[in-house]
Each structure stands twice: as structure tokens, then as C-alpha cells.
Amino acid sequence: MYKGGVMRTFITRKIKKHCHWLIFIAIASTMAILFWVVPYWGEERADPVESQLGLREPAASIDWETYQNKEYGFSFKHPEKWQRKEINDQRVIVNQSQFNEIGGLDSSALTVEIFAKPEDLVLTDWLEKNNPINQDTMELVARETKVVDGREGIYRVILDNVAGGHINDLHVKYQDKIYCFELNVRASSPEKQVEYEQTLNDILISFKFAN
């Protein structure tokens, strides 16, 4: 009986010793969780997909300069201060850039390129064959359907892992042509990102196909 009592006393002491460590670990874990989580309670976190360019309605009526492509018959509006460069009848670029607070260059651009008489492929197959994403330098964040002037197209949200920013594109098949819209945004702050995305969105909404 005596030996059994000694053994029970020894086991009780071991349990108490380990309980102290367990209590300490529990308290430390709770403090760590509170330290990391509490500061972020109540903050709004933007969805990485939803925060990208989407075809929303313009915030207000816009009185911009109108570009018309006589060869292919399409048109769109853009801010007058934006630069415009016609590479040829099938490709035109409108863009703007300015220095940010830290001395870097913020920029946004829309490139419209037309592929006439494409191969007899559905839009998805044509896109995978002719404009695949470079897996070494870019990351596909989302792929969905968007509408331009009543025509549905494939919209891709793409992250540029080399230069930074987003280079998103939208492909629409209209009659015997495929219209490729490339939207490029690089901004140093979330506010500028939203501003540039909204402007590109409004330009794209103003796009009209030939009748």
C-alpha cells in the first residue's frame, strides 16, 4: 500500500507539472491569436477578383473625344488628354501615365486589335491557340464572360509577375472578326488602381461595333 501511495503521488506531481506547461502554451497561443487577428477586425478586405476591372456602368455621362476606325467601322471614346497611337488600321492604343508620390510611373492603357477572317474556331479554342497566357511570367486569376456593345466575350484577369500590375484582356467575336481588348493598369496605390480601372471601364463601355 505504501509503494502504491508513493507511485500515485509521483504520477500526480508529473501531471501537475505538465498541466502548468499546457496552461502556459494555451495562454501564449491565445495572446498570439489576439495580437494578429484583433487589429484586422472590422476591416473591409477587397476580393482579388472583384476588385479587378469589370464592365460596370459609368459613374456619369462622359464628354470625351471620339475615335473612329474607318477601315473596320468601330468607334470608342477616350479622355482628350490621353495619347492615341494608331499602329495600323487593325491596332490602336490609347494611354496615359503620370509620376506618383514615390517617383515611379503610374500608367493605364487600352489596346484594341482586330483579327480579320480568323480560323474557323469557336472563340475559346481560338483564344487558347492564338493568345495563351505565358505561364512563366503571368498568372490567370479569373476567367469570365463580359459584354461589349451587346456581344459576349471572354474576359481574363491576369497578374503580371514580372513588371507588376494587371494586364487583362477581353476577346469578342463579331461577324468574321475577333476583337481583342487589352487593358493595362499599373498604379502605386489602391485609390489610383480603382481610378484607372474605372476610366478603362468607361472607354470599353463606349465601344461600338459597325452596324
Nine-digit cell at 53?
Answer: 476591372
Tell me the mean pLDDT in the region 47-74.
Answer: 66
Tell me the mean pLDDT in the region 91-105.
Answer: 91
Most confident of 31-45, 81-95, 159-173: 81-95
- Residue 96 in this model has a pLDDT that exceeds 80: yes
Q: Do you know the residue count of the chain? A: 211
Q: What is the pTM of this model?
A: 0.69
**Over pLDDT 90: what percentage of the chain?**
47
Q: What is the pLDDT of residue 40?
A: 33
Please identify which residue in the block is written with the cell numbers 462622359. Answer: 62
Q: What is the pLDDT of residue 154?
A: 96
Instruction: Give 27 or 143, the one with higher predicted confidence.
Output: 143
CA–CA gap between residue 110 and residue 201 (Å, rounded): 10
- Residue 53 in this model has a pLDDT that exceeds 80: no
Q: What is the pLDDT of residue 26?
A: 57
Instruction: Give 27 or 53, the one with higher predicted confidence.
Output: 27
Q: What is the pLDDT of residue 108?
A: 94
CA–CA gap between residue 6 and residue 149 (Å, rounded): 88
- Residue 206 in this model has a pLDDT that exceeds 60: yes
- Residue 41 in this model has a pLDDT that exceeds 60: no
- Residue 149 in this model has a pLDDT that exceeds 60: yes
Number of alpha carbons in the 13 Å side-chain half-sphere of residue 70: 0
In 3D space, the residue among 202, 29, 188 whose CA is nearest the CA of residue 110 turns out to be 202
Q: In sequence order, what are the beta bridge partners of 86?
A: 92
| Mean of the per-residue pLDDT values of the chain | 78
Instruction: Give 14 or 56, the one with higher predicted confidence.
Output: 56
Distances (CA, A) of 1 to 11, 99, 150: 15, 86, 92
Q: What is the pLDDT of residue 160?
A: 85
Tell me the mean pLDDT in the region 53-69.
Answer: 68
Classify residue 159 as exposed, middle or buried by CB count within 10 Å of its CB (0-12, 13-18, 19+): middle
Q: What is the pLDDT of residue 27?
A: 57
What is the domain class of 65-205 according to CATH? Answer: alpha beta
Band the pLDDT of 23: cuts 50, 70, 90: low
Domain extent listing, the chain? 2-40, 65-205
